[in-house]
Structure 1
Amino acid sequence: MKLTKWISATVASALVAASFSLTTVVNAQETRTIADETIYDLLVDRYFNATAENDYNADPKDNTQFAGGDFRGLIDKFSLITDLGYSIVSIGSIFKTEKYDGSMVTSYDEIEPHFGTAKELEAVIDTYSQSNVKVMIDFPLTNVSENHEWAQDPAKAEWLASSSEGKVQWDLQNEEVQQALLDAVVEFASAYKFGGVRLTNLDNADTEFLNEIIAAIKAVNENLYVITNEESDANFDANYSSETTEAFRNVYKNVDQDSSNLLTNIEAYAKGEQTPTQLMLDNLLTDRFTLTNEAYPPTRTRLGIVATLLLPGVPVTQYGTELVMNGEAGPEAHQLYNFKTDEEMTDFIGDVQTLRSQSETLRNGEFKLLKNEDGYLAFERFSEEERWIVVINNTGKTTRIDISEEEIGTGKELLALLDSDTIRVNKDGNYPIILDREIVEIFQVKDEKGINKGYLAALAVVYILFISFVIAIIKRGKRLRTEQ
């Protein structure tokens, strides 16, 4: 289902942006926000092993150990992420660590040798930036290894608040700790041309301190995005809501699920009442979404992915979702990436991303809910330039929704971009959208074309010529048989 080229042409012809002046395009790029982005979340160690040079003590057969993935692997396989259409690749914590997922950090100054060198990290950033993809890294504020260089310094003994299971927790109320963390994150953000920083392990950090860190990072580069994977009232560019993530997991795990709370944070953002929420089916700390599925996983994933990509918010996808990766939270959910991808799924995600990336309206347009009931979701994204209708039928039966001509406008038609169907107004003044069970469709509202008389005439000529040719062949065959 490789529709990318066709979709690109269709959308481009419809977008007023196609005729924008160069100045307008530049200004649009300057005002880009995190709501324009889509994030692909991965672990360096579990992506691709491009060189054995840094594979000391690595064991790909033991999922609790380093497997060998490295920065060079991110470069060798970067086309997969760009083909999927993601504009930010989040590569997790890359500081020196005792564990493959970066959760046992021992230094805020050094890069993990298993992943590669500083020069190779710079090469990753440069390679991705050439395709307009930003690189985001994690910075854990606390809960690091007890062997962290600060924890080993007797002069910093008062910096420790507690320790458990081989990890230490900094006293985030201590002003010296706060200053040291602020200096460390600013130094790291200044050393590389990152596109974003995700602050993790917030623990009991107060909002004022978090805002200081955010402001300090922005001072390095005002275009740097700063987010977190925890709930917080600080001034992050996008908030995280466990309630929203859980809602997505529950709604799309099977058909006919209660979807009443799916849009809680989404509608608030659409109304301008809060910052955008990260929309995801799972994250690197949870069970895989597939593990919760009660029905056919690829279908569940397809419907859920479209919801995260086209509802107002910031889409975040965990690596391997396009492979329908499974596993419980922890090493089982952090499997090695299998590059024998499901081409139909990756093409589908790429197609939807093409629409989103080319349409300002699909990213930041007005939002209007048409229906949200037991898994059946229909909504509009619209602006002065264009209008879209997205319908996700996550129910167990074929379902119809009638949208009035008053809503759509007169002289319009709905062009279905995933199955090439066209819906026109009926005698009752409605546009009837009928979708089979577990199907998603994206409609673009277009001016009605009517009957193309020239095309029909040309088609008639072709048929006449073809029939004449067939008749001539038959007559010739009869004549040859008579002569023989």
Structure 2
Amino acid sequence: MKKITLLLLTFLLCSSLPAHAEIKKENRLWQDESIYSLMIDRFNDGEIKNDLDVNAKDPLAYNGGDFQGIIDKLDYIHEMGFTAIRLTPIFDNTKNGYHGYWVKDFYKTDEHFGTIKTFQKLVKEAHKRKMKVIIDFVANNTAADHPWVSDPSKRNWYHPKQNMDNGTKSWVDGLPDLNQDNPEVNKYLIDAAKWWINKTNIDGYSLPELNQVPLSFWTDFSKAVKKEKKDSLLMGVPTEDAAIDAAKYQNAGIDSVFDYTQSKKLREAFATTNQSFSDLNSVSVQDGKPELMAKFLDNEYTVRFTTDIVNKRQFPGSRWKTVLTYLYTTPGIPIYYYGTDIALIGGKIPDNRRQMNFRTEKDLIDFTTKVAELRNKLPSLTRGNMEMLYDKGGMVVYKRVYKGETAIIAINNSTKSQKVVLTDKQLAANKELRGLLGGDLVRSHKNDYILIIDRDNSEIYVLADKSGINITFIAALVGVVILTLIFLLFIIKRGKKMRVE
């Protein structure tokens, strides 16, 4: 009897939810993905035998994270709704190159992270979960003690240490700067990139120091990589605060670029409340593809966004929930830096690269999972055009439309409840808005839709036909009531019988 009642209750709840045209995994575009970005050494230690020269108390030394540690946590990442992971460089590094950017051998994995066999297993396990894998490929420099540096025959493989043609220092952070205009260097780097794709079946590369490398090289690089694997993603990571023309790189074959300008605007708008969205909404990519731009709050180079929040004396949980709603529902590919799931705090390098901690409260993880689920199910959130409907006093409402599906996103980034009235001209007449994040329901009344959003709260609606009288819902409800009464009568009758006996 109890099982039947529970089944009816489950049916009752499911019958009230709207149906959506979820994009099938095999038909997904890169703009449909959401990426969990992690620093291998700081994420999870899964294999003790790799712990060579590890000192978990030293932020400038290896801390123990490895490929096996990532494999062990793939379900954790997948269950939060992520469809791809991005890893810092996996190549063999010089001493204390925990971050991966001091490459000493482009054809070997770093011994602290594990063998190439374990990395191949990582890619296979990710693919089993329909998750893609991209890794950082360092094309700008090598380690200071790379064998090429002391090889006289490879003197022309590097730029002079000072004064390049553009008047800047060529050796950024003292690292030997590769001369990609040299045909031998060009070929070596491209051959290495092709080799890793064929050897491990990764799905693309993120490219640090993008703006420090000639555009002509990236044109050659992108053509070669995509010839090996057509749907590979190339994601450029320019130096922080660099003023670059993203469209120029996209035209050269770099699909996506980390948008530091947008990131700065996001941090300013969401670190505290009652901020205007006007500057944020005015940011655009000149003649580029905004749907492929990498959207992020922080990464391995920046101060953690949680630090901004704390400095503003705000509560990290609510601030992160609000900004993630915006990040997941506007054009672009969300890049979610490891530790966001626990609101990890951190200052400048290396403080922003603290170890991940999995023993924390699940509130932010649960919210990430929910908003990711909606992004994965609603094509309008990843492919739809975007139109701003309301922007005032920290309250913003916009819509995304794709093939007949309309999503309305309402974000209240203020300190008080907000009321917004939308008209049928902005939406459609005689419809209803069904809230999927918080369960709100707004029906049109005299051609208006009245949205009331609590402070520090958000809602993601879909526009649907008015539900009216739901016969199935009522029938299920009546059935539950009847079964409950029968069950109660059975208990009472049984109790009387036991007392007589």
Q: Above 0.5 in TM-score?
A: yes
Deviation at 1:459, TM superposition (A): 5.7
Q: Counterparts of 1:128 and 1:335 in 2: how far apart (Å)?
A: 24
Specify the alignment match of 2:74 in structure 1. 78
Deviation at 1:151, TM superposition (A): 1.8
Q: Counterparts of 1:449 and 1:344 in 2: how far apart (Å)?
A: 32
Task: List per-residue Cα deviations over 1:265-300 (Å, max 9, x = no partner).
Answer: 45878xx76563211111110000011111111111
Task: Give me the TM-score of the superposition, normalised by structure 1.
Answer: 0.87
Task: List per-residue Cα deviations over 1:384-430 (Å, max 9, x = no partner).
Answer: 3321111111112211111112333233111111222211122x421
Q: Counterparts of 1:402 and 1:179 in 2: how far apart (Å)?
A: 60
CA contact (8 A) 2:291 2:333 kept: no
Specify the alignment match of 1:55 in structure 2. 51
CA contact (8 A) 1:92 1:101 kept: yes
Deviation at 1:166, TM superposition (A): 4.9
Q: Counterparts of 1:135 and 1:458 in 2: how far apart (Å)?
A: 45
* Paired AA for residue 26 in structure 2: Q
Secondary structure, in 3 states, of the residue corresponding to 1:208?
helix
CA contact (8 A) 2:284 2:290 kept: no
Q: Counterparts of 2:374 and 2:207 in 1: how far apart (Å)?
A: 30
CA contact (8 A) 2:430 2:447 kept: no
Query: For residues 311-350 of structure 1, what are the structure 2 equivalents within 5 Å?
Result: 311-350=330-369
2:232 to 221, 224, 231: 224
Q: CA RMSD in A?
A: 3.0
Secondary structure, in 3 states, of the residue corresponding to 2:93?
coil
Specify the alignment match of 1:447 in structure 2. 465
Query: For residues 273-292 of structure 1, what are the structure 2 equivalents within 5 Å?
Result: 276-292=292-308
Structure 2 CA distance for partners of 1:380 and 1:194, relative to 1, 3 Å = same
CA contact (8 A) 2:43 2:65 kept: yes
CA contact (8 A) 1:266 1:313 kept: no
Alignment of 1:395 onto 2:414: yes
Specify the alignment match of 2:7 in structure 1. none
Secondary structure, in 3 states, of the residue corresponding to 1:330?
coil
Structure 2 CA distance for partners of 1:461 and 1:38, relative to 1, 3 Å = closer
2:19 to 14, 17, 25: 14
Alignment of 1:237 onto 2:259: no
Deviation at 1:462, TM superposition (A): 7.7
CA contact (8 A) 2:290 2:331 kept: no
Specify the alignment match of 2:496 in structure 1. none
Q: Counterparts of 1:346 and 1:375 in 2: how far apart (Å)?
A: 25
Which deviates the most, 352-361 or 247-256?
352-361
Specify the alignment match of 1:127 in structure 2. 125
1:189 to 197, 203, 216: 197
Q: Counterparts of 2:195 and 2:216 in 1: how far apart (Å)?
A: 20
Deviation at 1:340, TM superposition (A): 1.3
CA contact (8 A) 1:266 1:312 kept: no
What is the aligned residue count? 458
* Paired AA for residue 273 in structure 2: V
Query: For residues 430-469 of structure 1, what are the structure 2 equivalents within 5 Å?
Result: 430-452=448-470
Structure 2 CA distance for partners of 1:215 and 1:341, relative to 1, 3 Å = farther
Q: Which runs of 5+ in 1 are unaligned?
A: 19-24, 475-484
Q: Counterparts of 1:384 and 1:10 in 2: how far apart (Å)?
A: 24
Specify the alignment match of 2:166 in structure 1. none
Query: For residues 67-466 of structure 1, what are the structure 2 equivalents within 5 Å?
Result: 67-98=63-94, 99-161=97-159, 162=161, 163=171, 166-230=174-238, 231=244, 232=246, 233-234=248-249, 235-265=253-283, 276-293=292-309, 294=312, 295-426=314-445, 428-452=446-470
Deviation at 1:90, TM superposition (A): 0.4
CA contact (8 A) 1:244 1:264 kept: no
Which deviates the most, 112-121 or 227-236?
227-236
CA contact (8 A) 2:417 2:452 kept: yes
Structure 2 CA distance for partners of 1:83 and 1:470, relative to 1, 3 Å = closer
CA contact (8 A) 1:11 1:358 kept: no
Q: Which runs of 5+ in 2 are unaligned?
A: 1-9, 162-170, 239-243, 493-501
Structure 2 CA distance for partners of 1:469 and 1:313, relative to 1, 3 Å = closer
Q: Counterparts of 2:209 and 2:285 in 1: how far apart (Å)?
A: 28
Secondary structure, in 3 states, of the residue corresponding to 1:301?
helix
Task: List per-residue Cα deviations over 1:73-102 (Å, max 9, x = no partner).
Answer: 111111111011111100111111131111
Deviation at 1:359, TM superposition (A): 2.0
CA contact (8 A) 1:411 1:447 kept: yes
Secondary structure, in 3 states, of the residue corresponding to 2:134?
strand
Task: Give me the TM-score of the superposition, normalised by structure 2.
Answer: 0.84
Task: List per-residue Cα deviations over 1:168-197 (Å, max 9, x = no partner).
Answer: 112233333222222222222222100111
Q: Counterparts of 1:82 and 1:469 in 2: how far apart (Å)?
A: 41
Structure 2 CA distance for partners of 1:73 and 1:425, relative to 1, 3 Å = same
Q: Counterparts of 1:114 and 1:355 in 2: how far apart (Å)?
A: 38
CA contact (8 A) 1:266 1:311 kept: no
Deviation at 1:376, TM superposition (A): 2.1
Structure 2 CA distance for partners of 1:171 and 1:273, relative to 1, 3 Å = closer
Q: Counterparts of 1:221 and 1:277 in 2: how far apart (Å)?
A: 21
Structure 2 CA distance for partners of 1:469 and 1:288, relative to 1, 3 Å = closer
Q: Counterparts of 1:187 and 1:401 in 2: how far apart (Å)?
A: 55
Task: List per-residue Cα deviations over 1:337-385 (Å, max 9, x = no partner).
Answer: 1011331211111111111112222210222211233432211112233
Q: Counterparts of 1:441 and 1:190 in 2: how far apart (Å)?
A: 44
Secondary structure, in 3 states, of the residue corresponding to 2:425?
helix
Specify the alignment match of 1:482 in structure 2. none
Structure 2 CA distance for partners of 1:305 and 1:180, relative to 1, 3 Å = same
Secondary structure, in 3 states, of the residue corresponding to 1:451?
coil
Structure 2 CA distance for partners of 1:16 and 1:107, relative to 1, 3 Å = closer
Q: Counterparts of 2:441 and 2:261 in 1: how far apart (Å)?
A: 37
Q: Counterparts of 2:449 and 2:386 in 1: how far apart (Å)?
A: 19
